[in-house]
Structure 1
Amino acid sequence: MVAGGCVGHDGGLALDRLTGADLEVGPTRFVLPRSLRARLGPIAVLAALVVGVLGVLYAGHSEPGGVDRWIIRPTADSVRPPWRRVALAMDFLGEPAGAATLIVAAVTGCLLLRRPRAAALVVAGAAMTVGTATLLKHVVGRTIHGDGNLSYPSGHTAFFTALALVVALLVTGRFGLGRTAGTTLVLAAALVAGAAMGWAQVALGAHYPTDVLGGWCTALAVIPATAWLVDRTADWLVVRMADSRRRERS
């Protein structure tokens, strides 16, 4: 009985220590590092405004706008081999099979690094970003190459940018990067991923350039908010578990 009581007491203390450690501020705890919140918040708001403005401008349209024509007029053969194969490979990463593969790989990596919050953000961030892009497509109603092809914003670009943002946030927290370095890394990752997938979508004639911009901004608007929500939910769960454990011991 005494031994059992000691084990239970020690186990409770161990849980308290783990809980306390999770509640402390550290470089690897938050999926939205505190050093970036002050900057990513306004960036997310600005990105949401861009998404909204472009959505209003191109609502119900079925032709490229002036900016789109200035960049390139989308056709089915805007790019030739060997670059077409590169574009098709990029496009695959935004298709269900390719996207699922990337998500599984990212979640596995997060769990191996013992970052369950980051794993949750990968899943929640991808779902929220793609869901938002899909909803906006039906609300805006812009089409390309026929009435059945909703185009604004680009879901492929939104997804790939979102995944890059999550990885950049994980790296920022993992290595404790400061505000300037962390913000630079996050924006650079978003820019590279968005540009790569956006190029593929425009080159293959699947989207207008402004669709790509809308998808990129959708990810920039959704991921910081989702990361904040994941942190808040995780903190709440930790507190509830600690309170429940204390009540069991009392």
Structure 2
Amino acid sequence: MTGRSAPAVLPPSLRGWLGLMAALAALVVIVLGVRYAGDSEPGTVDARISTAVYGVGPPWRSVALATDFLGEPGGAATLVVAAVTGCLLLRRPRAAVLVVAGAGAAVGTATLLKHLVGRTIHGDGNLSYPSGHTAFLTALALVVALPVTGRLGLGRTAGMSLVLAAALVAGGAMGWAQVALGAHYPTDVLAGWCTALTVTPATAWLVDRTADRLAADRPVDDRMADAGRRERR
């Protein structure tokens, strides 16, 4: 976070729509959480979707396992490091901070909700609501899509389309893998997706606010020196 003129990670043109999206997503998480609190069985919709998706054979099972790995510690760490490296190479330090903070906030929130809701799958205390894997990959897609939207200067419609498309592709792929492997119920992955939609925009807003505040507190001479260096690049 190098100064007031550093590009924002939350495009101003999308703030209102992203706020509305986050509110609706939070409502979905709360409603489903109350519905399935302490439960250990699939709902009617869960059962129908799981029957159609669960138990895929090769080669789709291999695809599901590969996708699932992206949400495991090793795969997730690799993706985060790659994304942070890319942001730093492009001289987007705020975006690098958002990658770590956004993904971490989504996973942390999903983990907290699992213990609060207490829904299990396959017995043995396997907490399932919401899906942390889905929350992570969706959040990662969002923290990449948001700065890209600002960098490309996309308008409200095009920007929201890009952000939602990224979230749908990432969340849909991981959600399918989790249901196909029997790791989560469909409503778990929906809640994981909505968790990312709720937490990530708020995290981006906090990153921008913190960066701007730190920049404002810096001596004027330092800010002018930074501006001069940027102009010479």
Using the size of structure 2 for normalisation, the TM-score is 0.91
Structure 1 unaligned residues grouped into runs of 5+: 1-17, 23-28
Counterpart of 1:98, as a letter, is: G
Alignment of 1:74-223 (within 5 A): 78-223=55-200
**SS of corresponding position for 1:45:** helix
Distance 2:135 2:52 in 1: 19
2:9 equivalent among 21, 25, 31: 31
2:32 equivalent among 46, 54, 57: 54
RMSD: 1.7
Contact 2:134/2:192 (8 A) holds in 1:
yes
Distance 1:141 1:213 in 2: 16
Q: CA deviation at 1:148?
A: 1.9
Q: Could you tell me which residue of structure 2 aligns to residue 70 of structure 1?
A: 48
Counterpart of 2:46, as a letter, is: D
Structure 2 unaligned residues grouped into runs of 5+: 224-233
Distance 2:3 2:171 in 1: 38
Please say which structure displays the higher CA radius of gyration: 1
Q: CA deviation at 1:70?
A: 2.0
How many residues end up aligned between the 2 structures? 222
> How far does the alpha carbon of each residue in 1:3-45 deviate from its partner, in whole angstroms, 9 at most, with x for none?
xxxxxxxxxxxxxxx84644xxxxxx11000010010001001
Q: CA deviation at 1:79?
A: 1.1
Distance 1:147 1:244 in 2: 61
Distance 1:213 1:101 in 2: 24
Identity of aligned residues (%): 76
**SS of corresponding position for 2:126:** coil
**SS of corresponding position for 1:81:** coil
Distance 2:222 2:161 in 1: 41
> How far does the alpha carbon of each residue in 1:106-130 deviate from its partner, in whole angstroms, 9 at most, with x for none?
0000000100000000000011000
**SS of corresponding position for 1:146:** coil
Alignment of 1:1-12 (within 5 A): none
> How far does the alpha carbon of each residue in 1:157-216 deviate from its partner, in whole angstroms, 9 at most, with x for none?
000000001111121011110000000000011001110000000000000000000000
Distance 2:98 2:56 in 1: 35
Distance 1:97 1:74 in 2: 30
Alignment of 1:14-25 (within 5 A): 19=3, 21-22=5-6
Distance 1:21 1:212 in 2: 38
Q: CA deviation at 1:243?
A: 5.4
Q: Could you tell me which residue of structure 1 aligns to residue 227 of structure 2?
A: none
> Which stretches of structure 1, 4 residues or more, deviate above 4 A after TM superposition?
243-246
**SS of corresponding position for 2:42:** coil
Contact 1:64/1:73 (8 A) holds in 2:
no
